[in-house]
Structure 1
Amino acid sequence: MYHNIAEVPEGINVYRSLYVSPGAFARQMVLLRMLGYRGVSMSDAMPYLQGGKEGKIVVITLDDGYVDNLEWAMATLRRYGFTATCYAVSGYLGQYNAWDDEKVGVRKPLMSAEELRAWHAGGMEVGAHSRTHVRLSQCSDQQQREEIHGCKAELEDRLGLGITQFCYPYGDYDERAVHATREAGYVAATTTDRGRATGGVSTDLWRLPRIQVARHHLLPQVAAKVLTRYEDKRT
């Protein structure tokens, strides 16, 4: 789980961990390659998660749809033959992180519809991250439907792509949100619950855990997160 692939802007004192520098990101992708892993998008990972295929894969996800993902992450991913899923907030395409810009102290540019199409044209996947980046457990049933179903409809309409993957904003979800996600036609959804997803019939595809990679994580830590039960013990 990544967010920004960029240097930390001056003046940011909170959420600095959400930034991973382009150099660090590139070294992490090299590490995965050296360890024998292939980085894949959520859709590319589905045969493995559903238990029909085996192999050494790491699913690479980026939340919110920042422009820096296109500017810095995509070239590195393509260099190593990797794919990734970027979860976009449909109500803010081409705008900025209106849900937390005041708290963070900076307006971070979000990809426009044209830029998301360029991301997809580069071999990457666009997923859904709600319409306005809300805490779904705090929404009414109707609001949840608008955020979850509406995001899929808006992205598909504006991008001309099928959207099959969802990510709960803030990792916040309840049973109603899970039901709405399945009802909307998404085939899987990711959380911020810590852990490594395992494939097979027992896998809950709408509550998939993830491993956060933050600014302060060194390569040995990233390796430990991928190779060992370091993250699994924290679920």
Structure 2
Amino acid sequence: MTDRTRMNLPPILMYHSISPSTVPDPHRLRVHPERLERHLRLLRRLGLRGVSLGELLLAEARGAARGLVGLTFDDGYTDFLEHAVPVLQRHGMTGTVYVVAGRLGGENEWDDGPRFQLMAADQVRAVAAAGQEVGSHTLSHARLAGADPATLTAEISDSRRVLEDVLQTEVRSFCYPYGSYDQAAADAVRAAGYDHACVTGDYDPGDRFTLPRCYVSPRDGRPHIVARMARHHLRLRSRAGA
């Protein structure tokens, strides 16, 4: 299988902030921890287990991905460590948190909405020590489609070096902010040494460096999660028959 072969993976769910906060959430980024708890209980009742994207791909390579669902969390908010990690651990599950490497300990300055605190270096290390995967979400949460080569190098390669310095281990997973990418960006991720990368809802090309995910909204209940996973499988079947 080459890097550009279309992949037929189980659903990958896409979360952002996991928090009980009641401050305004105009970009629909915040899922309450109790709602995440209900989602993971649902997966267990369906005989499924949530895993990090790295673990999902390793299982796929062994032919053992059946019964798994990818769990990803964008931006690296402090509430991932405070609220998401305990829920994941209670259910024996793992996830991938995508960290904006140039904003460690800062805030989501790229948004025009409320400010959310981002994990500092010691918190990122604590997440990894808790068995969760840490991936890169660029240096500054930049849109990569149409970016010049220097920007791609800084946002993709330099962010990996920052996180590897923090963690003292290899960082293999990448996520395009806003789902914004083009072939040059995907090629730059591959050249930077990542093992895989994910987008948002795009199913084309759907290769190892453009893996599609299912967005989870703050209001999604159990029926919505089931519907999103079913739609994912339908999209894959439709794509295979195209």
* Common fold: TM-score over 0.5: yes
- Please list the CA deviations of residues 110-157 of structure 1 after superposition, one character each: whole Å capped at 9, or x if unmatched: 011100111111110100000001111142111111100011001101
- Please list the CA deviations of residues 167-198 of structure 1 after superposition, one character each: whole Å capped at 9, or x if unmatched: 00110001100000000011100001256x9x
Given that 1:49 and 1:203 are in contact with CA atoms closer than 8 Å, whether structure 2 keeps it comes out as no
1:30 aligns with 2:33: no
1:123 aligns with 2:131: yes
Deviation for aligned residue 1:230:
7.4
1:232 aligns with 2:235: yes
Say which SS state the counterpart of residue 88 (structure 2) adopts. Answer: helix
Given that 1:211 and 1:231 are in contact with CA atoms closer than 8 Å, whether structure 2 keeps it comes out as no
1:221 aligns with 2:227: no
The structure 1 residue matched to 2:212, chosen from 199, 209, 213, is 209
Residues 183/62 of structure 1: CA separation in 2 closer, same or farther (3 Å cut)? same
1:176 aligns with 2:184: yes
Higher mean C-alpha displacement, 49-58 vs 126-135: 49-58
Aligned residue runs from structure 1 range 6-17, under 5 A: 6-10=19-23, 12=24, 14-15=26-27, 17=28
Partner of 2:5: none
Aligned equivalents of 1:153, 1:181: Cα separation in 2? 13
Deviation for aligned residue 1:229:
4.7
Answer 1 or 2: higher relative contact order, Cα 8 Å, separation at least 6. Answer: 2
TM norm structure 2: 0.87
Query: Runs of 5+ in structure 1 lacking a partner?
Result: none
The structure 2 residue matched to 1:55, chosen from 63, 66, 82, is 66
TM norm structure 1: 0.89
Say which SS state the counterpart of residue 208 (structure 1) adopts. Answer: coil
Given that 2:125 and 2:166 are in contact with CA atoms closer than 8 Å, whether structure 1 keeps it comes out as no
Given that 1:50 and 1:203 are in contact with CA atoms closer than 8 Å, whether structure 2 keeps it comes out as no
Residues 229/184 of structure 1: CA separation in 2 closer, same or farther (3 Å cut)? closer
Deviation for aligned residue 1:228:
4.7
Residues 232/164 of structure 1: CA separation in 2 closer, same or farther (3 Å cut)? same
- Please list the CA deviations of residues 17-61 of structure 1 after superposition, one character each: whole Å capped at 9, or x if unmatched: 211101101000000011000110011111234463342100100
The structure 2 residue matched to 1:166, chosen from 174, 185, 192, is 174
Given that 2:138 and 2:177 are in contact with CA atoms closer than 8 Å, whether structure 1 keeps it comes out as yes
1:85 aligns with 2:96: yes
Given that 1:211 and 1:225 are in contact with CA atoms closer than 8 Å, whether structure 2 keeps it comes out as yes
Aligned equivalents of 1:3, 1:231: Cα separation in 2? 25
Residues 231/151 of structure 1: CA separation in 2 closer, same or farther (3 Å cut)? farther
Deviation for aligned residue 1:214:
0.6
